């Protein structure tokens, strides 16, 4: 994601903060100032938000480190104004593992809440009469800071328990459902419930808290995206790259000029090319490569000067589902297909989509 | 747009209401109920919202009927919870005409406000002391209904005067800028200002009115979209279809089977096809056509049973900018290119995008 600030690494996982986070801080400052808080209170509120997001990082690390135990690595943890996102390489498909990974996040907040309760005199607040409690919590102070933190962690647990896939509660639901029914069907149900909850969030957001509007939008499209992915992986599983790959492709010679490539591009539907000489694949000329060449006025230069040589290859018999995951995570989504170093064809994202569209129409 | 309810036609322009409009009504009801309003007040609020949106329709008709005077027709007017949108076939490119079209909307609300002022005793409210005014306007009543309506029309004028392209004020700004500078440059400036204002709307929405969040999102992407379109049209103007069209395409015979088409699709990058026999173009087989055929288990049926015969054609020398407008408005964006009834090639949206990418890289 663009516009992020790296905070460092924990167990090899990059922790990033998204630039829009500044809006959250600005919002908090504005709310405090508009209710007439003094400078120390404003500062305390900012510190509070930062500490809460510290807890969110720990929550996400709960997911990530549990996933690691099942051999699944996490690329990064990103903090957005509406919460954290751990980018796991993939979700475990065994229901029990997925359940553990999903539960591990909220468990971290439960542990934090219990620790705070044991170390600090939080029971004093909980023993107060409702009115006295409300009174003593009307503004954040150094005295009630820890209680606020305790309450926020409890809220994080409660909020994440809502079964709005792809939020934790929704993942837990999907995992539990997949113990008795097909995972694809379980995902469909969890995603539908998630989208329904998203509409509820959106609507509540209009009345109570605008951040809920954003969370609603996030959950709605998140549920849709993950549902589509699971349906797709189910369609592709057991099929091989050679069933979907393109064989009718233009293979470039390294000495062909960029101008010739542009003519090929305009005259047809291909945009990425394999570059090969004497049966050997030397590189890939991505669309971005020839566009770069043209920006540098190198229209007459040979293809070999601009091709990408550290491209990824795919094997003829690689599983399409595994390959689909790889493609989704890769910006350059065009791959030569090789067998014993011989070029057999190429495969790209559109190609797989086409294959899925055709396959799903047959199951109709 | 899907999920709309047709309200009828005015001067041949379809007036539609988007289904999300129900949220606006629900929101108004909720706000009234939560502040303890009685049933008649709730009903009056709903009537008020509907009357305001009547004024919005008149506002949009102001744009549409002014555009009609310059020979530009309007496909429809859609009412969204955040306002109305008139889908003009295109914006006039002459700054003076664009200015008149953009101004015509707010002028309608000014006229409504003046008429209300002249017919009803609105000056009575305006002469009140600030506190008395606030008091008498705390809730909507049959007595202050017309004043509310007057105020809402004034607000519509003020809000639309904000220079947030593509809102009216932004269009007015673009039109005025284009009187002295290049229209492409003027659009770039107006769009940048629009996106800045959108961020401000979004931010204010977090504190004051969640509808502003939605308007902010709408303006942000609207500004981006219109800016891209104007830059593209400028790139394409003066160029002809034959410069960008594909000539290296697979032409199907009407008796070829759907199965053969699927093999062609999977083996290469083409997804739509021209169907031709004896030099005569008989139809187009769109991706959706062969997918439909497969869903109906007609894999062995000939292409001619599923091809689209009322397809649109393009001339070899048609202006690319005009064609681009047509393509953007058309869901089926693949067109055979003909000259004297002879097939010369085909052109689609990706193809034009590729052409623009290549052209803009040369201008880099």
CA B109 – CA B179 distance, rounded (Å): 26
Q: Which residue has tokens 């009357």?
A: B51
Say if residue B136's pLDDT is above 80.
no
Mutate to test the interface with A, among B28, B31, B269 (most CBs of A within 10 A): B269
Rounded to an integer, what distance in angstroms lies between the CA atom of residue A273 and that of residue B269?
Answer: 12
Q: Which of A31, A207, A269 sits opposite B246 (nearest CB)?
A: A269
Q: Which of A31, A205, A295 sits opposite B364 (nearest CB)?
A: A295
Q: What's the burial of A282, exposed, middle or buried (CB within 10 Å: 0-12/13-18/19+)?
A: middle
Between A and B, how many CB-CB pairs are < 8 A?
A: 101
Give the other-Cβ count within 10 Å of B292's Cβ.
15
Q: What is the pLDDT of residue A279?
A: 82
Give CA–CA dist B11/A186, Å, rounded: 51
Strand partners, B14: B9, B76
Contact B265 A354 (CB under 8 A): yes
* B364: pLDDT strictly greater than 70: no
Question: Does the structure show a pLDDT above 90 at B90?
Answer: no
Work out the average pLDDT over B180-198. Answer: 92
pLDDT number for residue A364: 56
Supply the pLDDT for residue B337.
Answer: 92
> How many angstroms from the chain centroid is the CA of residue B351?
23
* Closest approach of B218 to chain A, Cα-based (Å): 14
pLDDT score of B9: 87
Bigger pLDDT: B189 vs B135: B189
Of A192-206, A336-350, B19-33, B341-355, where does mean pLDDT reach its minimum?
A: B19-33
Q: Using pLDDT thresholds of 50, 70 and 90, give the confidence band for residue A192.
A: very high
- Please enumerate residues of B whose Cβ is less than 8 A from a Cβ of A: 23, 26-27, 30-31, 34, 203, 205-207, 210-211, 213-214, 244, 246-249, 262, 264-271, 287, 291, 294-295, 350-351, 354-355, 357-358, 361-362, 364
On the question of pLDDT at B2 being above 70, the answer is: no
Residues of B in contact with A34 (CB under 8 A): 207
Q: Does the beta-carbon distance from A269 to B351 stay under 8 Å?
A: yes
Q: Which chain A residues are closer than 8 Å to B213 by Cβ?
A: 210, 213-214
- Residue A306, pLDDT > 70, answer yes
Please, which pLDDT band fits residue A229 given cuts at 50, 70 and 90?
A: confident
Q: Given this model, what pLDDT does residue B50 score?
A: 92
User: Which residues of chain A are within 8 Å of residue B207 when distances are taken between CB atoms?
Assistant: 27, 30-31, 34
**Which whole number is the average pLDDT over A106-113?**
95
Residue A2 pLDDT grade (very low, low, confident, very high; cuts 50, 70, 90): low
User: Cis peptide leading into B166, omega within 30 of 0?
Assistant: yes
Of B213, B269, B294, the CB nearest to A269: B269
Contact B207 A31 (CB under 8 A): yes
- Residues in chain B with CB shorter than 8 Å from the CB of A264 are 248
Name the residue in chain B with its Cα closest to that of A363.
B295
Using CA atoms, how far apart are residues B5 and B22, in angstroms rounded to an integer? 11
Residues of A with CB under 8 A from a CB of B: 23, 26-27, 30-31, 34, 203, 205-207, 210-211, 213-214, 244, 246-249, 262, 264-271, 287, 291, 294-295, 350-351, 354-355, 357-358, 361-362, 364
B158 by DSSP, 3-state: which?
helix
| Residue % of chain A over a pLDDT of 70 | 99
The string of DSSP letters for B99-132 reads HHHHHHHHHHHHHHHHHHHHHS-THHHHTS-HHH
Closest residue by Cα to residue A59 from A85, A80, A88, A81: A85
Q: Model confidence over A29-77: pLDDT tens digits? A: 888 888 888 888 889 999 999 999 999 999 999 999 999 999 998 989 9
- Contact: B291, A23; criterion CB under 8 Å: no
Q: Is A304 exposed, middle or buried (0-12, 13-18, 19+ CB in 10 A)?
A: middle
Q: Among A59-73, A197-211, B100-114, which stretch is predicted with the lowest mean pLDDT?
A: A197-211
pLDDT tens digit sequence for A159-186:
999 999 889 999 999 999 999 999 889 9
Q: What is the pLDDT of residues B233-245, one digit of tens each?
A: 888 888 998 888 9
Confidence check: pLDDT of B5 > 80: yes
Q: How far apart are CA A351 and CA B271, in angstroms?
A: 10
Instruction: Indicate if the pLDDT at residue B21 is higher than 90.
Output: no
Write down the pLDDT at residue A88.
87
How close does chain A come to B114, measured CA to CA in Å? 33
What is the least distance, in Å, from the CA of A344 to any CA of chain B? 11
Task: Give the closest of B34, B295, B358 to A294, CB-based.
Answer: B358
**Which domains are present in chain B?**
1-161 (no CATH), 163-236 (no CATH), 241-362 (3.10.580.10)
- On average, the pLDDT of chain A sits at 88
Closest-CA residue in chain A for B348? A269
Q: Which residues of A touch B30 (CB under 8 A)?
A: 207
Q: Do B361 and A295 touch (CB under 8 A)?
A: yes
A271-296: per-residue pLDDT in tens?
A: 899 999 988 899 999 998 988 888 88
pLDDT at B63 over 90: yes
The strands making up A342-348's β-sheet, listed across from edge to edge, are A314-315, A334-339, A342-348
* Contact state of B265 with A350 under an 8 Å Cβ cutoff: no
**pLDDT > 60? residue A319:** yes
Q: Residue B122 pLDDT more than 70?
A: yes
Report the pLDDT value the prediction gives residue A179, as an integer from 0 to 100: 92
| Chain B residues closer than 8 Å to A23 by CB | 203, 206
Determine, for residues A294 and B361 on separate chains, whether the beta-carbon distance falls below 8 Å.
Answer: yes
Contact A266 B27 (CB under 8 A): no
Of the candidates A277, A274, A229, A222, the residue with the CA atom closest to the CA atom of residue A250: A274
List the beta bridge partners of residue A319. A240
Res. B96 pLDDT band, cuts 50 70 90 = very high
Helix ranges (H only) for chain B are 21-34, 39-69, 95-119, 123-126, 130-136, 145-161, 168-178, 183-207, 210-236, 241-244, 258-267, 287-295, 320-329, 349-362
The winner for highest mean pLDDT among A110-119, A197-206, A331-340, B205-214 is: A110-119
């Amino acid at each position: 994601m663009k516009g992020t600030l790296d905070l460092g690494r924990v167990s090899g996982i990059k922790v990033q903060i998204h630039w829009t986070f500044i809006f959250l801080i600005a919002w908090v400052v504005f709310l405090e100032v508009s209710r007439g808080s003094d400078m120390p209170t404003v500062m305390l509120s900012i510190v509070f938000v930062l500490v809460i997001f510290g807890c969110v990082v720990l929550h996400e690390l709960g997911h990530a480190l549990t996933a690691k135990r099942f051999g699944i690595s996490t690329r990064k943890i990103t903090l957005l104004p509406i919460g954290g996102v751990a980018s796991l390489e993939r979700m475990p498909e065994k229901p029990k593992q997925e359940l553990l990974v999903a539960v591990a996040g909220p468990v971290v907040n439960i542990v934090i809440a219990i620790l705070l309760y044991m170390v600090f005199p939080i029971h004093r607040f909980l023993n107060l009469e409702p009115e006295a409690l409300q009174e003593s919590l009307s503004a954040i102070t150094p005295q009630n800071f820890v209680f606020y933190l305790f309450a926020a962690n409890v809220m994080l647990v409660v909020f994440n328990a809502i079964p709005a896939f792809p939020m934790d509660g929704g993942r837990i639901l999907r995992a539990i459902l997949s113990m008795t029914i097909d995972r694809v069907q379980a995902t469909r149900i969890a995603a539908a419930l998630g989208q329904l909850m998203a509409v509820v969030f959106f609507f509540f957001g209009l009345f109570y808290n605008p951040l809920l509007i954003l969370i609603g939008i996030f959950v709605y499209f998140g549920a849709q995206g993950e549902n589509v992915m699971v349906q797709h992986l189910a369609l592709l599983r057991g099929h091989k790259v050679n069933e979907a790959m393109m064989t009718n492709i233009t293979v470039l010679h390294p000495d062909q000029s960029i101008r010739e490539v542009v003519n090929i591009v305009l005259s047809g539907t291909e945009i990425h090319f394999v570059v090969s000489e004497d049966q050997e694949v030397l590189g890939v000329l991505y669309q971005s490569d020839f566009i770069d060449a043209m920006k540098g006025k190198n229209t007459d230069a040979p293809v070999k000067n601009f091709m990408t040589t550290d491209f990824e290859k795919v094997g003829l018999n690689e599983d399409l589902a595994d390959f689909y995951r790889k493609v989704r995570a890769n910006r350059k989504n065009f791959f030569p297909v090789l067998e014993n170093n011989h070029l057999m064809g190429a495969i790209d994202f559109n190609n797989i989509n086409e294959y899925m569209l055709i396959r799903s129409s047959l199951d109709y």
